[in-house]
Chain A
Amino acid sequence: MSNNTTYRTCPRSGLQFESQAEKLVIANAVAGVIFLLIGGILAIGIVLTRWPSVHWLEAATFYQVLTAHGLDMLVYWIIFFEIAVLYFCSSTLLRCRIATPKIAWLAFALMVIGSVMNNYAVYDGASSVMMTSYVPMMAAPSFYLGLILFAVGALIACFVFFGTLVVAKREKTYQGSVPLVTFGAITAAIIAVFTIASGAIILIPTWMQSMGWVEHVDPLIYRVIWWAFGHSSQQINVAAHISIWYLVAAVVFGAKPMSERVSRGAFLLYIVFLQLASAHHILSDPGMSVEWKVLNTSYFMYFAVLASMIHGLTIPGAMEVAQRAKGYNKGLFEWLRKAPWGNPSFSGVFISIIGFGFLGGISGVMMGTEQLNMIIHNTIYVPGHFHATVVIGTTLSFMALTYFLIPVLFKREIINPTLAKWQPYLFGLSMYFFCLVMMGAGTLGVSRRHWDMAFSGAALAYEWPGAAYLMMGLVGIAGIAAIVGGALYIYLTVGSLLWGKRVAQTKISSEPTPIPVGAPSAAAQSYGSLGFAAPGTFVLAMIFLAAFVLYYFINWKYLSTLWGLS
């Protein structure tokens, strides 16, 4: 038993923070937000260059900025914040001390050193290779070394998380099974271990090639293994942000999962099938067999998609059940109309769920279909899709969680609640539009990672249709609006930490208070209609399905008009 630590109980939420864990959560979250700030500043350069009538940066600067934006956002912002979430979901939710805090700080130090080294390599100029760093294009050795150090740090942090679970079990701070949100975090951490191992397998030889120690890393094998890292790490994000959706539903509504079995089963499907995702980046590549592509791109018959569709129903469903229990029981949608739309934790999560499903999910399945991939591969449709998943889905959920954490974890009041109320709408809805117009431009063929759609200096230029220029102009406008929304988040977070009113604190003790054992509650069958506990959610799900089916077959129709290929 460790005695040289203390436990603080937050008066507002009842959550209990161990002091080491608390510092670690804060450090990781703050590091994440710093990278979000850097990535957001870089986004200004990207957007104002891809907006055809502005076309701001020089080509070399643009590619450099794009490389850094991808890394800072997708890798550093997200993973630092995720480590904070892992520590929170273990130590805080299970009310135990964090295992091996010293090693957790070592992990943090490695991650900081790695991310700074990698960023420095990019700003230094010789590493504008995009975050994917496809060989044989080579970056400076410190580019790869930085990534490797960061990955090692993140891996160690995952093991601290697992260790903390063991501590909680052994010190009996809870009884029975871990909470669903912690279960989701475990899913994320397991996928992370697989992912980071793949990253090491491919980045270490590539680093050695950059040092001149290895002759040749095969470009195709690189792509296959790199994506086992690059895509699977997106599944960490999905598992993490879905856990946050459940968490916010619990905090805001007191919602309980409709059924633990279904929700946990869906997380299990992620662990079993998500590893196959690398395939959908290789669909338009030479080399892989049709059988391999079809089986892998569908995550073995779409079982991971099934899992996401399940969470997409059960989370709003749980909210609906909780609202109906409170008496908002009229018609199909009273529960939704009477939801706390002014609470940024709720509105952020709700905008995230809808955007992730309708924009990110549907487009992702479409482009992950073997033959359909050919009509969008490497077009700006792809960033359109993943800004819907990783920005509307993950980033916006993290923002929503932050609004909950500021008083609870950072012990400060939010400085400007009115602004905080509007921030998720501005950021989320402008991102919706941003993603839609990027997908529109991509459907017309416009390339991603491309400095000049006018092809200045090319011997044989191509003239994009006017609609493509229009779409890219709208990308510019929507992108700037989203950046303003992101800046508001940074202002609110940093401002509250610096100048927010302190939240009065009460209890600090030297022993953890175990989680009391709850009484089994009655099943939720007493509300709703037609024997459906959540009929409104079911209607939403059917609307989703209709949109999905329609869009899916429209794209097959489009494909059927192309050149014959066999």
Chain B
Amino acid sequence: MSAILPPTERLWWKHPLDRVEGTWIAIAFVWCMIMFFMMIYWHMYGKQNLSTETYKTTSEQFAAKAQAVVDKYTVRVETDFQTPVVAPPPGSDVYMIARLWNFWPILELQQGQTYRLHLTSMDYNHGFSLQPANINIQVVPGYEHVVTVTPNQSGTYSVVCNEFCGIGHHTMVGRIYVKAEAGNVQ
């Protein structure tokens, strides 16, 4: 019963390694390094890296900026709540507000185009969970997170709130439409 007794060799730290251990440590170490450098590699060559561009904001400031874009680029309204559907030009700044309990407004983007998507919450933490693409981003009040997105497929996407935000959490779903590139209807 030795792991529960003091080591019998007083100088246990001088004891040689068994070959099984030495080999495994070497292999495991190499694998750890591969995993570490994989993250860096993906920053250099991968296409999916979450931006860290962040600004402090307040709900008033952010709401005003979002409203300006909505006023300019609304193409129609949908749902019983008259939620505007906003189709800003490619390359522009688009805003999505998370609040109890909806995402506002609905966005209409174009496939293959890049947008600067600004996210924040007006109240509690919320979760931006884009489905079925399955991209999940935390939305934190007081912080404006600017994520550069390039939709690679057309279709109707839902934004499910996946951070617990109170009793209406399960009703908090938003929407993003992605229109197909001209001549590429999927």
- List A contacts of B164 (CB < 8 A): 63, 130, 449-450
- List A contacts of B130 (CB < 8 A): 563
Sample (30) of A-B pairs whose CB atoms are under 8 Å apart: A59-B170, A130-B164, A134-B124, A176-B10, A177-B12, A180-B4, A219-B143, A259-B17, A286-B54, A290-B43, A302-B32, A306-B28, A313-B20, A378-B138, A379-B162, A445-B134, A445-B136, A455-B170, A459-B81, A523-B15, A531-B19, A533-B19, A533-B20, A545-B28, A559-B48, A560-B47, A563-B133, A564-B148, A566-B49, A566-B51
Q: Given A219-B142, A518-B8: A535 and B20 within 8 A (CB)?
A: yes
Contact: B48 with A374, CB < 8 Å? yes
B5 at the interface (CB under 8 A from A): yes
Contact flags (1/0) for B59-86 with A, using CB distance below 8 Å? 0000000000000000000011101000
Contact: A378 with B32, CB < 8 Å? no
B182 at the interface (CB under 8 A from A): no
Q: Given A259-B21, A378-B129, A534-B20: A451 and B169 within 8 A (CB)?
A: yes
**Shortest CB distance B145–A (Å):** 3
- Other than A548-B31, A565-B149, give 19 A-B pairs with Cβ distance below 8 A: A137-B166, A247-B4, A260-B7, A284-B50, A286-B145, A310-B24, A317-B21, A369-B39, A456-B171, A462-B158, A464-B131, A518-B5, A545-B31, A560-B47, A564-B48, A564-B152, A566-B49, A566-B51, A566-B148
- List A contacts of B79 (CB < 8 A): 459-460
Q: Which of A114-122, A192-200, A201-209, A248-256 contacts B (4 or more CB under 8 A)?
A: A248-256
- List B contacts of A264 (CB < 8 A): 12-13
B167 at the interface (CB under 8 A from A): yes
Contact: A246 with B3, CB < 8 Å? yes
Q: Given A137-B124, A565-B48: A376 and B136 within 8 A (CB)?
A: yes
Pick from A136, A313, A461, A519: contact of B21, CB under 8 Å: A313
A97 at the interface (CB under 8 A from B): no
- List A contacts of B20 (CB < 8 A): 258, 313, 317, 528, 532-535, 537-538
The complex places the Cα of A255 from the Cα of B165 at a distance, in Å, of 50
A39 at the interface (CB under 8 A from B): no
B132 at the interface (CB under 8 A from A): yes
Contact flags (1/0) for A293-309 with B, using CB distance below 8 Å? 11000100111011001
The complex places the Cα of A293 from the Cα of B51 at a distance, in Å, of 12
Ordered nearest first, which 8 A-B pairs have the shortest CB separation? A256-B2, A564-B150, A462-B158, A286-B145, A302-B32, A447-B162, A260-B12, A377-B136
* Majority secondary structure, B binding face: mixed
Contact: A251 with B4, CB < 8 Å? yes
Q: Given A134-B124, A377-B137, A564-B114: A371 and B49 within 8 A (CB)?
A: yes
**Shortest CB distance B106–A (Å):** 8
B interface residues (Cβ-Cβ under 8 A, vs A): 1-10, 12-21, 23-25, 27-29, 31-33, 35-36, 38-40, 42-43, 46-52, 54, 79-81, 83, 102, 106, 114, 119, 123-125, 127, 129-138, 140-145, 147-153, 158, 160-175
Contact: B6 with A458, CB < 8 Å? no
**Shortest CB distance A405–B (Å):** 13
A370 at the interface (CB under 8 A from B): yes
Interface contacts (Cβ under 8 Å), in number, total 340
Contact: B36 with A298, CB < 8 Å? yes
Pick from A130, A223, A521, A525: contact of B140, CB under 8 Å: A223
**Shortest CB distance B133–A (Å):** 6
The complex places the Cα of A255 from the Cα of B17 at a distance, in Å, of 16
The complex places the Cα of A250 from the Cα of B3 at a distance, in Å, of 6
Contact: B132 with A465, CB < 8 Å? yes
The complex places the Cα of A18 from the Cα of B133 at a distance, in Å, of 59
Which bucket holds chain A's interface residue count? 35 or more
Contact flags (1/0) for A402-421 with B, using CB distance below 8 Å? 00000000000000000000
- List A contacts of B142 (CB < 8 A): 218-220
- List A contacts of B123 (CB < 8 A): 136
Contact flags (1/0) for A134-169 with B, using CB distance below 8 Å? 101100000000000000000000000000000000
Closest to A308 in B: B28
Pick from A63, A286, A314, A562: contact of B52, CB under 8 Å: A286
Closest to A516 in B: B5
Q: Given A174-B6, A565-B135: A314 and B21 within 8 A (CB)?
A: yes
Contact: A374 with B7, CB < 8 Å? no
Contact: A458 with B173, CB < 8 Å? yes
Closest to B121 in A: A219
- List B contacts of A541 (CB < 8 A): 24
A175 at the interface (CB under 8 A from B): yes
A181 at the interface (CB under 8 A from B): yes
- List B contacts of A565 (CB < 8 A): 47-51, 135, 147-150
The complex places the Cα of A370 from the Cα of B38 at a distance, in Å, of 10
A179 at the interface (CB under 8 A from B): yes
The complex places the Cα of A538 from the Cα of B20 at a distance, in Å, of 7
- List B contacts of A377 (CB < 8 A): 127, 136-138, 162
**Shortest CB distance A170–B (Å):** 16
A375 at the interface (CB under 8 A from B): yes
A365 at the interface (CB under 8 A from B): yes
- List B contacts of A331 (CB < 8 A): none
A549 at the interface (CB under 8 A from B): yes
**Shortest CB distance B7–A (Å):** 5
Contact flags (1/0) for A309-328 with B, using CB distance below 8 Å? 11001100110000000000
- List A contacts of B138 (CB < 8 A): 223, 282, 284-286, 377-378
A60 at the interface (CB under 8 A from B): yes
The complex places the Cα of A260 from the Cα of B9 at a distance, in Å, of 9
Contact: A552 with B35, CB < 8 Å? yes
**Shortest CB distance A450–B (Å):** 6
Contact: B167 with A60, CB < 8 Å? yes
Pick from A374, A447, A520, A538: contact of B23, CB under 8 Å: A538
Pick from B24, B36, B132, B147: contact of A445, CB under 8 Å: B132
